Amino acid sequence: MPLALQLRLPLPRVLVVQRCRCRLPPSRLSVRAEAAAGVAVAAAAAPSSVVHDELCMLPFSPELASHHRELAAAVASVERACRLCVDVKASLLSGDRKFLEKNDETPVTIADFGVQALISFELQQLFPSIPLVAEEDSACLRSLNADESNSNELVESISSFVAERVSNSGSPLSHADVLSAIDRGGKDAVSFDPNPATYWVLDPIDGTKSFLKGADDSLYVVGLALVVDGKLAVGVMGCPNWTDGITDKNNDESLAAPPGRGILMVSHVGCGTWSRPLSSEIDQFTTALDAWKRCFVDPCSIAHMARYCIVDSHTWDMMPLSLYFNSTMDQSDPRDENRILLQNSCGGSLSKYLMVASGRMSVFILLARAEKQIKAWDHAVGVICVQEAGGQTCDWRGEPLDFAADQTGRRIIYPWGGVLATNCALHDELVEMITATYN
C-alpha cells in the first residue's frame, strides 16, 4: 500500500525556502574568495568522510544558499550517474539485449535503471526523510521469468554498475538493495496529500532514444530537482555529450566554456544557474571554482531573430507560431519577419531546457498532446535552470507550470496547450501570439 505522507522533516533537516538575493560580484576573484570561505567554514563543521561529496565546490557559499548541502550532494550523485551512463554505453550497448520496452512502448536501458538506483540510494542515505519521484520502477525487471538468462544478466549488470560507483561505506549492495532503490522512486512508492510537499524529482535519462543511437553528438540528460514546500529549489543536469559553445556569443567572452565534452549545470533558487565541464573520472570530481561559469538566457528581443528548438517527435507546423513564421534549419539561410531558425535535434525536453538556460537557444516550445501525458521529471529541473538563468517558463496561456496538479503522485503536469521556455524579452510577445491562434 502507498504510504501517505505529510512531510515534516526533523529539525536538523528542515528545508525552508529563503529566497536569497544573488549579488553579482565585481570580479571573479570575489566569487572565488567568498565561495571558498563558505566551503571552508562548512567543511570544518562537517565529518571528514562526507566533505568530498557533500561539500564539493559550488559557485556560491552556504550563506547564500539555504539548500547548499542538498545541491552539493545532488551534484556528486548526478556526476557519478553520468559516468555510469558513459560506461554503460561503451560496454553494454554492443550486446544483443540493449533495452527493454515498457508498457507505453518507450525504451528503458540498463543505464536508466542504474542511474535511478544509484541516485536513489545515495539520496536516501543523506536525506532519508525526503521521498523520491522518478520515472522508473523494477516491475519490468521483476516480471521477466526468473530462469531466463536475460533476466539474470540484466539485474546482474545493473547491480554491478551501481555497486562500482555508489558512495557507500556500508555492506556491499545486493541485487535486492538495487531493485529496492529503483522502486523507491516508482509510482507506488509514495502518496502525497494536497498540501505543499518536499521531494526529489529524477529523470534518470531524459532522451533514452537518443542514448540508444550511440552517436557522440546525441544529447541525453540526467536530471534531478528538489521541490521544497511546493517550490522548485534546486536543480542539477548532467549531459555527457554536450560540446563546446554552451554560452551565447553575445555574452561576455570571459564566460565562454573551456574546450571539452560534457556539461554539468546547477541551479539554486535565488543564486542563479551555473555550469562547468563534467569531470573525466568518477572519483576525480572537478572542484576548482574557476571551472564554474554563470549561465544566462539568450538576450534576443526580436521574435523572428530568435533561435527555436522543439523535441524530435514534433514538427514546426504543429506549433501555433507556425502561423506567423516559416522555419529553416540551415543557419546560413537569411532570416526575415517570416522565417525563423529552428533546431529539431534528437533528444528529450531537458536537453532543450539546457540549451535555453545556457543561451544556445532562445525559445523551447512543446505541444501537449492528448495521447501522451507530460511527466514532471521531464520538466522540473529544466524549469528552475531556465528561470535562474533569467528566463521564464509557462504554459501556452502564460501560467506557471503546476507541479502539484497531480495531488497524490506529483508525477504528471497538465500545462494548457503546452510548454514555453524563453527569455523575459520574448515571453509576453510569444504568449500573446500563441493564445491568439491556439484553441
The annotated binding site for Mg(2+) is made up of 135, 203, 205-206, 378
Side chain identity, residue 179: L
Whether 290 sits among the annotated catalytic residues: the reply is no
Say how far apart CA 329 and CA 148 lie, in whole Å.
Answer: 47
Q: Pick the catalytic residue: 109, 198, 208, 247?
A: 208
Residue pair 228/410 in contact by the 8 Å Cβ criterion: no
SS3 at position 328: strand
112 DSSP 8-state letter? H
Beta-strand pair 221-228/231-239: antiparallel
Cβ neighbours, 10 Å, residue 49:
10
Helices (H) and strands (E) in the chain, counts: 11, 19
Q: What's the full length of the chain, in residues?
A: 439
Cβ neighbours, 10 Å, residue 94:
9
Whether 112 sits among the annotated catalytic residues: the reply is yes
Q: Pick the catalytic residue: 53, 112, 298, 395?
A: 112
Beta-strand pair 374-375/272-277: unpaired
Say how far apart CA 149 and CA 154 lie, in whole Å.
Answer: 9
105 DSSP 8-state letter? S
SS3 at position 249: coil
What values do phi and psi take at 143, rounded to 5? -75, -15
Residue pair 415/395 in contact by the 8 Å Cβ criterion: yes
* Nearest CA-CA partner of 134 in 423, 399, 400, 380: 380
Kindly state the cell numbers that stand for 426.
520574448
Binding-site sequence positions: 135, 203, 205-206, 378
Distance of CA 100 to the CA centre of its chain: 23
Beta-strand pair 199-206/132-134: parallel
Torsion, CA 29, CA 283, CA 12, CA 236, rounded to 10? 70
Please provide the DSSP assignment of 156-206 as one string: HHHHHHHHHHS---SSPPPHHHHHHHHHTTSTTSEEE-SS---EEEEEEEE
Residue pair 174/104 in contact by the 8 Å Cβ criterion: no
Q: What kind and span of H or E run contains 115?
A: helix 110-126
Side chain identity, residue 241: N
Cβ neighbours, 10 Å, residue 11:
6
Would you name the residues annotated as active-site residues?
Answer: 112, 208
